[in-house]
Homo-oligomer: A and B are copies of this chain.
């Protein structure tokens, strides 16, 4: 465990020797994951992880160089959940891509913090496996390599963005439900602002219109509504990519 400031990914750094280490990196990642899921990313502390393992804080630094390494391990542990078992892998590029996308969204949403710590993501073994699987999904489509990568990238983009926004929407809804004052304050502020400038589109949607009921369209706020909206957007994207890539 060179503690030095080398910039290798944690997986390229030799782990503890094999005399008698009490823990493993996997255990550390698993504990950190459990804490993050239960109490949020901010609750993940070196001290906390160590305590949960029954170790002293500094013991962790025998297994990783820095907390960023722990986060990398957590991210990779999540990516493992993205992998679809071989026998469930659908035939046909469209079904396969859809399955991967759907599962990716589910997993990302199950670990909301993963999206906010995405910047420091490293490319680990499970990232590689996930990528391999995405390639396999597009294998039968008769596409040149660049087009396959582009298709995968477009879907990945859409999935990540949707997961991000879905998590955001659900968080907002949950917070709002727990705190009526905030809703009141937000609405009060919003309506005041609405009147102070030209917000004609918004007014038409949410405000009272001159003669009668306004349209009153609300963005979807339940998990199901968000999921089905995701589904429609994904299929639209695939339609469009198929058309542009000249696919069946």
A residues adjacent to B (C-beta < 8 A): 6-9, 11-12, 112, 115-119, 121, 123, 125, 128-129, 131-132, 135-136, 139, 145-146, 148-150, 153-154, 156-162, 164-165, 167-168, 171, 175, 179, 181-182, 185-186, 188-190, 193-194, 197, 199-202, 205, 215, 217, 219, 229, 232-233, 235-241, 243-244
Cβ B240 vs Cβ A118 within 8 A: no
Q: How far is the CA of A12 from the CA of B219 in the complex (A)?
A: 23
Nearest first, the 8 closest Cβ-Cβ pairs linking A and B are A161-B161, A236-B240, A145-B217, A240-B240, A135-B201, A157-B161, A239-B240, A160-B161
Cβ B193 vs Cβ A165 within 8 A: no
Which of A121, A132, A165, A171 gathers most chain B CB within 10 Å?
A: A132
Question: In whole Å, how far is A50's beta carbon from the nearest beta carbon of chain B?
Answer: 24
The A interface, classified by DSSP as helix, strand, loop or mixed, is: helix
Q: How far is the CA of A238 from the CA of B128 in the complex (A)?
A: 30
Task: State which of B148, B171, B237 has its C-beta within 8 Å of the C-beta of A119.
Answer: B171
Q: How far is the CA of A188 from the CA of B13 in the complex (A)?
A: 12
Task: State which of B123, B150, B158 has its C-beta within 8 Å of the C-beta of A157.
Answer: B158
Cβ A118 vs Cβ B121 within 8 A: no
Collect the chain B residues with CB atoms within 8 Å of residue A244's CB.
Answer: 232, 235-236, 239
